[in-house]
Amino acid sequence: MEAVAEAPRKTPEVARTGKSITIRKEDIPWLETPAHKVELVTMRHGNVEFLFGSAIQSKKLKKAAGGLNKYRSELCNQLLNSHLPQFAEGFHPRVSTLGNAITHQPIFYVGNNGGQRLYFMRFGRIENKPVIVKIAVCDKSDQGQVLSVLTDQSKKVIKKVSRL
């Protein structure tokens, strides 16, 4: 019997747009400056197109993201590629809303069994394409640090949630 290679997971096409959005401290309160410009790329996966950017701001969030080795960072990118196209269309069953977020609009997240977590927000539409911005990424071991920035939960509650 001949071994069959698994087909590689299709990754979205990515193209620079020259477009950007400005996120303000009112949008994400942990910003260290009054505003932050986020450069956007177009991501196309099949017939789904959305604009995507990254705004990992604050020392704790940068430290958590920086704690990912190359392999775990790639796992986070796979989460992004496998979940965001369907979410951009409106819904993905494995994407959850973060409770007790300190933002006015919802923070969404997705995780895997390996412990990687990806947090992001929607910022309306540009040219009828949804705008999604990554705001944090981490391993489960750093989830408490991330939740202490993104939520208003006490350290005791965060510690309990992080063990789940």
Q: Who wins on pLDDT, 3 or 14?
A: 14
Residue 100 lies in a domain: yes
10-14, 34-38, 67-71, 137-141: least confident range = 10-14
Residue 82 lies in a domain: yes
161: pLDDT strictly greater than 80: no
Question: 142: which DSSP letter?
Answer: G
Instruction: Dump pLDDT digits (tens) for 8-58.
Output: 445 668 888 889 999 999 999 999 999 999 999 999 988 889 999 999 999
Domain span at residue 92 reads: 13-163
Residue 139 lies in a domain: yes
| Domains of the chain: total | 1
Alpha-carbon distances of 147 from 3, 97, 130, 151, rounded to whole Å: 44, 13, 25, 6
Question: 163: which DSSP letter?
Answer: H
What backbone phi and psi angles, to 5 degrees, belong to 138?
Answer: -165, 170
Residue 54 lies in a domain: yes
Residue 4 lies in a domain: no
Residue 3 lies in a domain: no
Bridge partner residues of 49 (DSSP): 44
Residue 56 lies in a domain: yes
Residue 51 lies in a domain: yes
Name the band, by pLDDT with cuts 50, 70 and 90, for residue 160.
confident
What average pLDDT does this structure show over 124-152?
95
- Tracing tokens 């977590």 back to the chain, one arrives at 117
Taking phi over 0 as left and psi of -120 to 50 as alpha, with beta for the rest, 74 belongs to alpha
Cα-Cα-Cα-Cα torsion 36, 51, 13, 140, nearest 10 degrees, comes to 60
Residue percentage of the chain with pLDDT more than 70:
90
pTM score over 0.75: yes
64: pLDDT strictly greater than 80: yes
- H helices of 16-106, in order, are 59-66, 70-88
